[in-house]
Amino acid sequence: MFDALRNSLKLPDLRRRLLYTVLILTIFRFASNIPVPGVDRQALANFFNSGSAAGQFADMLNMLSGGALAKFSVLAAGVYPYVTASIVLQLLVPIFPSLEQMLREEGEAGQRKLNQWTFYLTIPLAALQAYGQAQLFSVGSSAPIIKNFGWGPGEVLPTTTILLTMTAGTMFAVWLGELITEQGIGNGLSLIIFGGIVSRIPRNVRSIWTSDQLMGVIVFLLVTVLVTLFIVFVQEGERRIKVQYGKRVRGMKVYGGGSTYIPLKVNTAGMIPLIFAQSILAFPAVIAQFFVAKPSTQAFAKSVIQFFSGSSPWYAPLYFLFVFGFTFFYTFIMIEQQDLAGTLQKQGGFIPGVRPGKRTEEHIMNIYKRITFAGALFLAIVAVLPFIMGLFMNTTRMLITSSGLLIVVGTVMDTMRQFEAQLLMRHYEGFLR
């Protein structure tokens, strides 16, 4: 494999794609260190080190942004508003028949239109997330982190500047991801998130070394390797359903009659349930921060922020249940959109021993229910793994968060598949030996 990677650098086009991908990721990491206007860096550092409920919640959001929030960078929101917008529109497709009909009848043109709507929805979501993050710093810190933030006299222009800057930063990150997808190697948005996650490894190593010394680093390294192997095993797991195609006679020739299989993935939903669960559980804390400044609701608001920042012992079980439930929810939405039974019937295929149509749909659904249970249990366990490790170690921080590890492994596997495809297009067989 390493010989194939080395020899691939001799191919001008592939070398250009690799260098272009590295260049875009470097630009993204550079932009992640540019703070928004008017930020007090010392007050920001004190806020994250304070150990307060708001500080712990901000640290959790910082992990999702790849460390950009700790610097309150222009890319503090990352590409998550775009991911959220994409998920929302995917969920709306089965609810509104007109959207489903548009995708089915217009095909690629309908998908482009849906992608355009995703960009439009990303803008208000990015502005909303930027305002929530800035508000968190305003009400959660004893010293002002952002000067003149609000809608009072003399505050409108600085506040508008911050929101526009962070919204533009999100769209810039999305644009960089699109450039990688079109002219580089791999999925651009996944690689953007991947770069942010991997960049936090040195900081996490220092944190584990401080709390658990060398033995802690060794233990977390072994756990990371074992979890990676487990993720690869489950991500590649599939249930194959045999499909038979009937023979068709046209004139003197016979067409069809072959057999193949439908690969049903154990983890069809991928990372989406984890993003769902994190977004839903973070939402109450985001809302509660608006009521911290009021004396009548201050105590209750702080308790809500503390619970949903992960400090409560009930947070991990709730997170487990949310991930488990969302896995079933999102998987079944995807199955309905695929309509495997209808596609098989149109192509003249059938599952041996199962009648076409409704019976085939029920048969596929029953199989999905069984394998999705294993996939949902897998995702839920991986999600709460840092809390499980916290029962035995002095920190819940891992070298890479469990949800981040899923993204890293999935991104690396997807990128290597695309890399293999590029090599095979040039008749290179190094990966197949």
Give pLDDT tens digits for 284-334.
Answer: 776 776 676 677 777 787 777 777 766 677 888 888 888 888 888 888 877
Helix (H), strand (E) at residue 241: strand 238-245
Please tell me whether the overall predicted TM-score, pTM, comes out greater than 0.75 for this model: no
DSSP state of 248: E
The Cα–Cα gap between 70 and 59 comes to: 8
- Asked if residue 284 lies in contact with residue 392, where contact means CB atoms within 8 angstroms, the answer is no
Percent of the chain with pLDDT over 70: 80
The Cα–Cα gap between 361 and 32 comes to: 47
Q: Which of 101-105, 174-178, 372-376 has the lowest mean pLDDT?
A: 101-105
pLDDT at 390: 67
Torsion of CA 231, 310, 129, 179, to 10 degrees: -20
Task: Write the class of the CATH domain 201-400.
Answer: mainly alpha
The dihedrals phi and psi of 54, each to the nearest 5 degrees, come to -65, -40
Residue of 186, 178, 164 lying closest to 82 (CA atoms): 178
Coil vs helix vs strand at 31:
helix
pLDDT at 433: 46
Top-confidence range, 52-66, 134-148, 190-204: 190-204
Say if residue 428's pLDDT is above 60: no
pLDDT at 54: 62
Torsion of CA 326, 329, 331, 335, to 10 degrees: -170
Coil vs helix vs strand at 367:
helix
pLDDT digits (tens, 9 = 90+) for 135-161: 777 665 666 777 777 777 777 888 888
- Asked if residue 162 lies in contact with residue 146, where contact means CB atoms within 8 angstroms, the answer is yes
pLDDT digits (tens, 9 = 90+) for 366-396: 888 888 888 888 888 887 877 776 666 555 5
Please state the separation of Cα 242 from the chain's center in Å: 32
Of 64 and 419, the structure prediction assigns the larger pLDDT to 419
pLDDT at 351: 81
The dihedrals phi and psi of 12, each to the nearest 5 degrees, come to -55, -45
1-199+425-433 topology per CATH: Preprotein translocase SecY subunit (1.10.3370)
Would strands 247-250 and 253-256 be described as parallel, antiparallel, or unpaired? antiparallel
Say if residue 76's pLDDT is above 80: yes
pLDDT, mean over the chain: 76
Same fold across 1-199+425-433 and 201-400: yes
The domain limits of the chain are: 1-199+425-433, 201-400
The Cα–Cα gap between 406 and 321 comes to: 18
Rg (C-alpha) for the chain, rounded Å, is 24
pLDDT at 432: 45
Q: What share of the chain is helix, strand, coil (3-state, %, to 5)?
A: 70, 5, 20
Single-letter residue type at 128: L
Alpha-helical segments (H) within 65-155: 80-95, 97-106, 108-140
Cα atoms in the Cβ-side hemisphere of radius 13 Å centred on 395: 19
**Alpha carbon distance, N-terminus to C-terminus of the chain:** 9
Residue of 126, 219, 209 lying closest to 174 (CA atoms): 126
- Asked if residue 61 lies in contact with residue 133, where contact means CB atoms within 8 angstroms, the answer is yes
pLDDT digits (tens, 9 = 90+) for 240-261: 888 877 666 666 665 556 677 7
